[in-house]
Amino acid sequence: MGHRRKAREVAMQVLYQIDVSQVDTEEAIVLFWKNFEVPESAAEFASVLIRGTRDHLDEIDDHIKDCSEHWSLERMARVDKNILRMAVYELLYCKDIPPKATLNEAIDLGKEFGSENSGSFINGILDAIYSKLRIDINETEVADTE
């Protein structure tokens, strides 16, 4: 397993812990490192994902709400919601990661850790968010050239 895949698993677990227990981000990270052994390369990327997702949570949740017809954040399974949050953070802020890799990894995490329908649920919402982000970027580029 690659270090980024392991980092995403760790980040999802810590984000889930924060969501369930309402513990502080830094406290959750320290607690995870104390109880689980994580390779340093994975720990670094996981920390970026965790802190970045939490730092931009309102913006990320707005993107998810905009593209999740008939599903409020409160109705979403916590595993699915936190995978979505982490993936949206990657799409918005990790420009060195190909969007297709982000989408594929999120779908795989949903299939592995979520319910029977998590993979397709995550795929549908992320596809809508990615399409909307591409449209927004193209409109901005056109406006800048005019």
Q: What is the 3-state secondary structure (H, E, C) of 18-60?
A: HHHHCCCHHHHHHHHHHHCCCCHHHHHHHHHHHHHHHHCHHHH
Report pLDDT for 137.
Answer: 59
* Closest by Cα among 48, 55, 111, 56 to 83: 111
Q: Which CATH number fits domain 3-145: 1.10.3720.10, 3.30.70.1150, 3.40.50.720, 1.10.940.10?
A: 1.10.940.10
The Cα–Cα gap between 103 and 80 comes to: 13
The predicted pLDDT at position 69 comes to 81
Buried b (16+ CB within 10 A) or exposed e, 82-121: bbbbbbbbbbebbeeeebeebbebbbbbbbebbeeebbeb
| CA pair distance 63, 130, nearest whole angstrom | 10
75-130: pLDDT as tens digits: 999 999 999 999 999 999 999 999 999 999 999 999 999 999 999 999 999 999 99
Distance CA 109, CA 132 (A): 23
User: Which pLDDT score, from 0 to 100, does residue 1 have?
Assistant: 63
State the pLDDT at residue 143.
46
Provide the mean pLDDT of the chain: 92
Question: Rg of the chain's alpha carbons, rounded to an integer?
Answer: 15
Cα 18 to Cα 11, 51, 65, 84, 98, distances in angstroms: 10, 11, 20, 15, 27
